[in-house]
Every structure is written in C-alpha cells, then in structure tokens.
A and B are shown apart, each in its own frame.
Chain A
Amino acid sequence: MEKNANAAMLSNYEVFKLLTDLKEQRKDSGKNKHSAGQQNLNTIMYETLKYLSKMPCSRQSPDIVKDFLTTMMPHKLTKAEKLQLLNHRPQTAVEIQLMVEESEERLSEEQIEELIQTVADALPGDPEQENAAPADAEMEEANEQP
C-alpha cells in the first residue's frame, strides 16, 4: 500500500462534520452497520465524535472558519498556529503563549489581548461557560451596542 503521509492538515471541525455526515448516512443503511467488520468503524466514529463534540469545533461552521482565517491574516501566524487557535479557542494569554511559538518576541502584550478578543469574537464559545461569566462583562457589551 503506497501512501503520502502528509497530504493535508484537517481542522477538528472538518473531521467533526465528516463523521456527523457519515453517521447520518449510516443510520439509513439499516442492518449493514452491525456486521463484525463494521464494528471498528462504529467504535472509532463513536469515540471521536464524543471527544470532538466537547471541543469548540462542534459550534463552528465553514463560514466561521473562513472568517476566522481572514481575520487572522494580519497577525502573521503560521498554519499550525492558526490551526491550534481554531481547534482550542484559547481564552487566556497563557494558552496563546503555548500555541504561538516565541510569542514574547513576536507579539506585544496588547497584541496578545487583541488576539484573545479576536478569537473570542470570531469563534462561538460554550454557552454554559458564557452564562457563568461575571455580570459586568455582559454590561460592557450592552454599553457597546449602538
């Protein structure tokens, strides 16, 4: 079996979408999926979907990903860095420093704050987590609305 081991990197969202669509398709196929040969596929699909549904990718869409990448262009990050930001949706400076190499040299503190804000705006967050956020954060947003 020949292979080209690194044709492309996939974001968590793309894999999540692929597996969700595959699951829909297989629901209609009926008894086929319970045969011994299909068990491996069922197991890996179930576990991977379980993992991905708890990550930010479950709340993303192709437009969100496209807009996110466009907004990220001026920051001059590598592909791997943008991918990690997209997959993890970091909310603190410490997380950004983990994902962006040599962030102390490439980004000032303001730029890091800006990056956190862009990520929070471009990518939808966990609704449960956001409801627990302090009331003054919501008040700030209300003040900004025209």
Chain B
Amino acid sequence: MFVLVEMVDTVRIPPWNFQRQLNDAIAEELNKKLANKVVYNVGLCICLYDITKLDDSYIFPGDGASHTKVHFRYVVFHPFLDEILVGKIKYCSQEGVHVTMGFFDDILIPPESLQQPAKFDEAEQVWLWEYETDEGAHDLYMDQGEEIRFRVTDEVFVDTSPTGPAAAATDTPAQPGQSTAPPAEGSGEKKEPPYTLIGTICEPGLGLLSWWNN
C-alpha cells in the first residue's frame, strides 16, 4: 500500500526560521510542500520518512533566505497492481461504486467489474448483486458505509498543473489527494482528481466483507 520514494529538492528556509535546527526547519518545509498532495506518476504523499543527505546551504543575492539541496525519503501511498485493499463505500452512481479509504477518496469500481450479475437500483441509487442460489435470487445491496475488499486493476494520473501560455514542464505537486473538504462548488468546470484508482470485485472473496464472513 505504501512505498518509500527517494526525492531530491531544494528547500528554502526564510531568515526568521534560522534559529531553528536546520533538520527540523527542512522537515517542516518538506511536509508543508508535499503532505496530502499527489505527485504526478508517484502517488499520494503522506509524510517525511527521513533526510538522507543535506548539501551545503546557499544564500542568493536579493533573497535573504537560505537554499539547501536535500536528499530525502517520503512515505507515499501507491498501491501496486493487483494489490488487495479494504475500503468503505462512499456512494454508488451510474459510473460504478465509489470507495473511500478515509485518507484517499478517488477509488472507482466500474459496473463491469462488479460481481455479476449486477443491477443499479435507481430509486435507492445503489448497486446490487443478484446472487443466485438453489433457493432463488438474493439481492445483495452495496450500501453506503459498508466495508468492501477490492483488487486494484488500474491507476490514472492526471497532470493538473496549471497550463500557462508557456506550458512549463515542471512537476509541481497537484491539488490535495483527498477531498474531505467540500469540492469546488459552483465553478461549473469538472475538476479531475489527480490520482484515481480503478478496482474490481469480480472474484471470490472480493466485495462487501459481510458477504464472505461466516
């Protein structure tokens, strides 16, 4: 689920933080820059693991702050392909079942990857599995808040950096990966999440935990 990513970056420490220990000031700046943000093609950054190397700090003309090149390792949420994960159902829509893990929200299980045969109940806005046994068909509802086990089949990274007139190719961190804050209301444009996971539950053992616990 989590990986360690080695990164190198230059950290700027403003003069009013000079009294602090360099390591602490740098750790704080790095967390401020990366925590809870998605880095393109890397994953959702959680927190700093450690600092492996600090190069010399420089002060440039016109700017009183110190700039230090830092080699560090960051804990990143980046499940590997085919990994099994457990989350909670956020809501269901025509696009499929939306799952959340609390710290990461953009997980989708498309209709073709649900346990077949599956049907969408328009009235209650919920997907259900029409489970056939000898006794007849049971409708197993996928209700909100239920714990669900799924397998990761795909990941989609979208580069959400602003495209200026001179489209610069810098890897700036994109918007925060999880959306417990209310989504952009009334802007009219659909914001693409920078990192989405596609999952499947079309295998024995996958789906709501309650389906498989005796």
A contact patch SS: helix
* Chain A interface extent, by class: 35 or more
Residues of A within 8 A of B8 (CB): 1-3
Are B6 and A94 closer than 8 Å at their CB atoms?
no
Closest residue of A by beta carbon distance from B176: A40
Are A41 and B3 closer than 8 Å at their CB atoms?
no
> Shortest Cβ distance from B86 into chain A, in angstroms?
7
Residues of A within 8 A of B39 (CB): 3
Are A3 and B7 closer than 8 Å at their CB atoms?
yes
Interface size on B, residues (CB 8 A): 44
> Shortest Cβ distance from A88 into chain B, in angstroms?
7
Instruction: Point out the residue from A41, A43, A84 that lies within 8 Å of B178, measured CB to CB.
Output: A43
Counting residue pairs across A and B whose Cβ atoms lie within 8 Å, the total is 122
Are B178 and A45 closer than 8 Å at their CB atoms?
no
Residues of B within 8 A of A70 (CB): none
What is the bound-complex CA distance between A61 and B203, given in angstroms?
A: 32
Encoded as 1 (CB less than 8 Å from any B CB) or 0, chain A from 72 to 83 comes to: 000000001000
10 closest A-B pairs (Cβ-Cβ)?
Answer: A47-B103, A44-B36, A94-B205, A41-B35, A40-B36, A37-B32, A4-B6, A8-B4, A10-B2, A3-B7
| Contact sample, A vs B, 6 pairs, CB 8 Å cutoff | A1-B7, A6-B5, A7-B4, A38-B31, A44-B178, A97-B205
Task: Mark A residues whose CB is within 8 Å of B.
Answer: 1-12, 14-15, 18-19, 22, 32, 37-38, 40-41, 43-45, 47-48, 50-51, 55, 80, 84, 87-88, 92, 94-95, 97-99, 101
